[in-house]
Amino acid sequence: MLVELIVENYAVIDRLRVRFHAGFNVLTGETGSGKSILVGALGLLFGGRAAAEMVRGGSDRARISGIFELPESGGLRAKLEEAGLAAEDGELLLEREILPNGKSRAFAASRPVTAGLLKEIAPYLGDIHGQHDQQLLFDRDAQLDVLDDFARLEIPMAATAGSHGLWRQARAALEDLDRTEQERTRLSDLWAHQVKEIEAVSPKAGEDETLNLERRRLQNVSKLEENASAAYQSLYDSPQSALAQIRTARKRVDELGRIDEAAMKPLLESMRAAEIALEETSFALRDYVGDLEADPARLDHLEGRLAAIERLKRKYGPAIADILAFYDTTRRNLDTAENAEARRAGLKAALDERAAAYRDAAARLSAARREAARKLEKKMERELASLAMERARFRVEFSEGAWTARGYDEVQLLFSANAGEEPKPLDRIASGGELSRVALALKTCVTAASSAPEGVMRTLVFDEVDAGIGGKVGDTVGRRLKQIAGGNQVLCVTHLAQIASFADRHYVVDKKEVKGRTAATIEERAGDLRTEEIGRMLSGSLTPEALKHAEQLIRQAAAK
């Protein structure tokens, strides 16, 4: 329930603060005084869209604040806890700021939130119904929304949406296969050629490095033999070789050892180790020279192999690893192209299976909707009878349309105000007053169906629901709004004295000039002041007859 609303620098409102109460609250005033502006401000707290023109000229921002009384438990508190928000003393503060550039900020419980979160929690707090909503009833999708809101079919709707998503995925996969099949067919010859070309060479990872080393060795056999032989001669084979020199030196040290064994023994051991190392190195060089052999045929083979690998590198990548990666990808593409028909058969079978699952889910949803539609028809006719339309008939007509996440149902709401007339689509209703009463009856039925099980008092706002309604019908509408207010807080913007006379609380919105600028004000009227306002609504001036008529209306409303 809305406890308090504060509006600052919003449209023609400078600063306005008003406390509302449980029951039936009406807002009246001259046309253009700002009544609907207050409703628009409340709509922003329910997540409505902000716009730059909402900011009062010369202000750096508009600000709307609302304090709502919350139930002790239920879905709203759970959603607030999920968002990390906590109500204080059983009340929730919602705020919205709009900047001159049209950007806005939202707050809940004094913490920044998104406008999307305000929109999520709005159904727990209340609902706004205005003339725009009546025009929306001409739209087929909006009519389906009304039926679904009344029917409360969350489980079959979720099942249908899930089945629809799976069916769309399968259809998209099959369409993608069909769309790319021609391209894959064109490319398959190229892929086959590329796979065959790489397989003909069959390069191995790191092979080019090994081949290059072997090629370099074969290209330089003479130089290798010449240098290795010279090294062997220097170390071992010539009279002046290093090995001959160290052997001569070792004999000298051996003679020294006969005189000074302790000093020479370590030196002899070192020289012996050096002699052995020189022998081993010399023998290795001898064997290396012996193994060297020019092999022109092998060199030609290496040159050809490396040239083949180089050609693949120029086409498919700078390294053998890139060639092999390209080969794997191309091989998979070719396999896919060769197996496309088998894949298509599998995707078609999956699509048929998911289509059948969707049809089953959508059929169950449609059956539940049709059952709910019959209930809505009966309830609507009772509601319309309570609004002085005892002969009215209301029907929900079904047809099958495109497959959507909401099922395949298309509905059209039909209405007839008089006996003997066939129900017709709502957009063919001639009377604005009839449409207003149909819209009010629908809102009443849907609101009753969606009431929280714990009996939470929600704020239901009716903005000029009396459009096109005369005095007698206004009396029945006022009485119906009074009944709705028995379990909800009702805020109603009206121009009809007959409706206003049923109010528990009466607020008057007016425009005044303050310091050369127009500003909207609001004040609660009671007693004689309320009688005067209703008298003004009846005749436009406070004549004795108007005041007397106003008193009579108030007494009659209180007695009903």
How do 459-463 and 126-129 pair as beta strands?
parallel
- Based on the domain organization, do 6 and 112 belong to the same domain? yes
Taking the C-alpha atoms of residue 35 and residue 466, their distance in angstroms, rounded to an integer, is: 14
Taking the C-alpha atoms of residue 494 and residue 538, their distance in angstroms, rounded to an integer, is: 12
Burial 137-174 (b: 16+ CB within 10 A, else e): beeeeebbbbbbbbbebeebbebbbebbebbbebbebb
126 domain residue, yes or no: yes
Q: Residue 111 sits in a domain of what CATH number?
A: 3.40.50.300
The per-residue pLDDT string of the chain (560 residues; one tens digit each, 9 = 90 and over) reads 999 999 999 998 989 999 999 999 999 988 877 888 888 899 999 999 999 999 998 899 999 999 999 876 567 888 888 888 888 888 999 999 999 999 999 999 999 999 999 998 888 888 888 766 667 778 888 899 899 989 999 999 999 999 999 999 999 998 887 777 777 777 888 888 999 999 999 999 989 999 999 888 888 888 888 898 899 888 888 888 898 898 989 899 998 988 888 999 999 999 999 989 999 999 998 888 888 888 889 889 988 999 999 999 999 989 999 999 999 999 988 887 777 777 788 899 999 999 999 999 999 999 999 999 999 999 999 989 888 888 999 999 999 999 999 999 999 999 998 888 899 998 887 567 788 788 888 888 887 766 544 445 789 888 877 777 777 788 888 988 998 888 889 999 998 999 999 999 999 999 888 777 888 889 999 999 999 999 999 887 788 898 999 999 999 888 86
- Based on the domain organization, do 92 and 213 belong to the same domain? no
The domain boundary residue, chosen from 338, 364, 383: 338
The domain boundary residue, chosen from 313, 338, 363: 338
The domain boundary residue, chosen from 338, 354, 372: 338
156 domain residue, yes or no: no
Q: For residue 455, is it left (φ>0), alpha (ψ between -120 and 50) or beta? A: left
CA torsion sign for 40, 132, 25, 541 is positive
519, β-bridge pairs = 512
The candidate with the shortest Cα–Cα distance to 30, out of 560, 533, 530, is 533
383: which 2 tokens? 């509601």
- Based on the domain organization, do 115 and 219 belong to the same domain? no
- Based on the domain organization, do 108 and 8 belong to the same domain? yes
Total number of domains constituting the chain: 2
227 domain residue, yes or no: yes
412 domain residue, yes or no: no
22 domain residue, yes or no: yes
Taking the C-alpha atoms of residue 44 and residue 40, their distance in angstroms, rounded to an integer, is: 7
Q: Strand, coil or helix: what is 481?
A: helix
User: Half-sphere exposure (CA, 13 Å, Cβ side) for 114?
Assistant: 5
The candidate with the shortest Cα–Cα distance to 276, out of 238, 232, 246, 231, is 246
How do 13-19 and 91-98 pair as beta strands?
unpaired
Backbone angles phi, psi at 507, to 5 degrees: -115, 140
- Based on the domain organization, do 332 and 206 belong to the same domain? yes
Domain with 37 in it: 1-130+464-560
Residue type, 60: D
289 domain residue, yes or no: yes
Strand 393-404's sheet: what is its strand order?
393-404, 407-416, 424-425
Q: What H or E segment, with its residue span, contains residue 161?
A: helix 154-201
343 domain residue, yes or no: no
- Based on the domain organization, do 88 and 216 belong to the same domain? no
Taking the C-alpha atoms of residue 195 and residue 141, their distance in angstroms, rounded to an integer, is: 55
- Residue appearing with tokens 């003479």: 222
377 domain residue, yes or no: no
